[in-house]
Structure 1
Amino acid sequence: MTSALVLAGTRPGGDPLAGAEGKPHKALIEIEGRALLDRVVTALRGANIERIGVSCDEGPVADLARTLGCEVLPTGTGPSESASIAFASLGAPIVITTADHALLQAAWVTELVTNTPADADLGVALARQEDIEAAVPGSKRTYLRFADGAWSGCNLFYLRTPRAQAALATWRSVEADRKRPWRIAGRLGLGTLVSYAFGRLGLAQGIERLGKRIGIEARLVRASNGLAAVDVDKPQDLQDIRAYLARTAT
């Protein structure tokens, strides 16, 4: 049975966005009267995931997590280490996401699980730039540019088998270079770096090569809805999300 992990660690010095919203932690920022963590957990429950762990420090976030029926798991020095700690407890298969995924929908979680091939160890959800801009015009995201277009991460990962644990050991270095894709390509060898530099490397191909480099089968899962790439990193994100929800309210 698939479980889920919500990463809700605390940044050193606190999160300025949380402070601006009058909250002690970003996971507690409210949208339409509900904390971000509540919204994320509700979406995961909607995808029929019963066992949910929340990686966070003891305090108000942990209290809310327990109120929501989640397990509280210890944090590491960063998201990748926190995920490794949780994987040791929850095991595979597991969906990993973040507490600031304010618009997360159960359908996106189901899509990731369903569209990760049966022969894959890891599925990674990303959205194309045109899909994001169609969903939230003007939203500013960080894009990775490949031969098959520009993509942005959705903070949604599906570790389908125990072998996917190998990806967590590599996550830390990729995490550091997430805004510098040429460095990621460089880790795969000169041929891959050249292919990227000359615009011949597609994102799906890059993910598969990275997976093989660390001994697993990794696959791109294209998000059908560009909203899946919109999280809460800065004040403009909150404004965009609140404006979107106001426009689509029924």
Structure 2
Amino acid sequence: MTSVTTALILAGSRPGGDPLAQAVGVRHKALIEIGGTSMLAYVVAALRSAGMTRILVSTGDEAVSAAAVALGAEPVAAEAGPSGSAAAALALAGAPLLLTTADHPLLRPEWISDFLQAVPAEADVAVLLARQEAIERDAPPSRRTYLSFADGRWSGCNLFLLVTPAASRALDLWSHVERDRKRPWRIVRRLGLGMIWRYLTGRLTLAAAVARIGEGVGIKARIVAAGNGLAAVDVDSPGDLELVRGLLT
């Protein structure tokens, strides 16, 4: 596929502040340090080692912006929600654009490279996910959120590739999901009764579900299975932070 050299790190702020950042005593979760290095710095280093020459950091926090500049990254204003920030970055930098998050300090260059090499040539957008078996094999005991399908249980890895400009349609769908998160019937309605029935009867694979959702907005959406289950471990809770600190230090 086309060489990917631009990445976006999502480092927005939750309304009212992030509970984990507040518990640790820092102003933003991206600035939490592990072994004397911020989570943001770990992510920037992994992206740079994987060949990213332009790294955008989407944030509304001045301290995170300053940290990004110090790391040689480019701060850009965060929009309303992750989908809005991703759409703004895609409009600014164009496709292909790699997306990840600032709370993923375990991110490794080889995971990024393997993901990019495995993205199907026809894809407009691709997402990295890990099977439960891989997570249980590679990661110490940790609580993860799983999606159950006919081909197993999967967890997200906070790594996405917007391959073509058409990927903006996926971001538009993402924005609708964000708006409708408290009205799940609207999200269900978008999936269609046929796919819902296949899911309820245990006949829907994750790859088929993602592909069908993509078709609904006129794009080709594909999944890539992570080779290392640690790719699904980000830092959302004190337990996650303790686990990742142990692994990195």
Q: Which moved more, 1:179-188 or 1:98-107?
A: 179-188
What is the 5 A alignment of 1:157-176? 157-175=160-178
Distance 1:89 1:174, change over 3 A: same
CA distance in structure 2 between the aligned counterparts of 1:202 and 1:181, rounded to whole angstroms: 21
Partner residue of 1:82 out of 76, 81, 85: 85
Q: Equivalent residue of 2:248, what SS?
A: helix
Which amino acid counterpart does residue 109 of structure 2 have in structure 1?
A
Match of residue 92 from structure 1: 95
What is the 5 A alignment of 1:174-185? 174-175=177-178
Aligned positions, number? 246
Which amino acid counterpart does residue 47 of structure 1 have in structure 2?
A
Aligned-residue offset at 1:174: 3.6
Match of residue 19 from structure 1: 22
Match of residue 151 from structure 2: 148
Match of residue 53 from structure 1: 56
1:223 aligns with 2:217: no
Aligned-residue offset at 1:178: 8.1
1:195 aligns with 2:198: yes
Partner residue of 2:46 out of 43, 66, 90: 43
Distance 1:90 1:58, change over 3 A: same
Aligned-residue offset at 1:187: 2.1
Query: Normalising by structure 1, what TM-score?
Result: 0.93
Partner residue of 1:132 out of 131, 135, 143: 135
Aligned-residue offset at 1:179: 11
Q: Could you list the structure 1 runs, at least 4 aligned residues long, displaced by more than 4 angstroms after superposition.
A: 175-186
- Residue identity over aligned pairs, in percent, reads 55
> Structure 2: any 5+ residue segments left out of the alignment?
none
Distance 1:179 1:94, change over 3 A: farther
Counterpart contact for 1:142–1:179, Cα < 8 Å: no
> Structure 1: any 5+ residue segments left out of the alignment?
none
Aligned-residue offset at 1:172: 2.2
CA distance in structure 2 between the aligned counterparts of 1:79 and 1:15, rounded to whole angstroms: 15
Q: Equivalent residue of 2:40, what SS?
A: helix
CA distance in structure 2 between the aligned counterparts of 1:158 and 1:85, rounded to whole angstroms: 15
Partner residue of 1:108 out of 98, 106, 111: 111
Distance 1:140 1:98, change over 3 A: same
Q: Equivalent residue of 2:51, what SS?
A: coil
Aligned-residue offset at 1:195: 0.1
Deviations 1:23-72 (A, max 9, x none): 11000001111100000000000110101100011411000101111111
Which amino acid counterpart does residue 222 of structure 1 have in structure 2?
A
Aligned-residue offset at 1:177: 7.4
Counterpart contact for 2:158–2:232, Cα < 8 Å: yes
Which amino acid counterpart does residue 113 of structure 1 have in structure 2?
L
Match of residue 237 from structure 2: 234
CA distance in structure 2 between the aligned counterparts of 1:181 and 1:70, rounded to whole angstroms: 37
CA distance in structure 1 between the aligned counterparts of 2:99 and 2:180, rounded to whole angstroms: 20
Q: Equivalent residue of 1:96, what SS?
A: strand
Q: Equivalent residue of 2:154, what SS?
A: strand
Aligned-residue offset at 1:244: 2.6
Give the RMSD, CA atoms, in angstroms: 2.0
Aligned-residue offset at 1:176: 6.3
Which amino acid counterpart does residue 26 of structure 2 have in structure 1?
K
Which amino acid counterpart does residue 170 of structure 2 have in structure 1?
A
CA distance in structure 2 between the aligned counterparts of 1:48 and 1:182, rounded to whole angstroms: 42
Query: Normalising by structure 2, what TM-score?
Result: 0.93
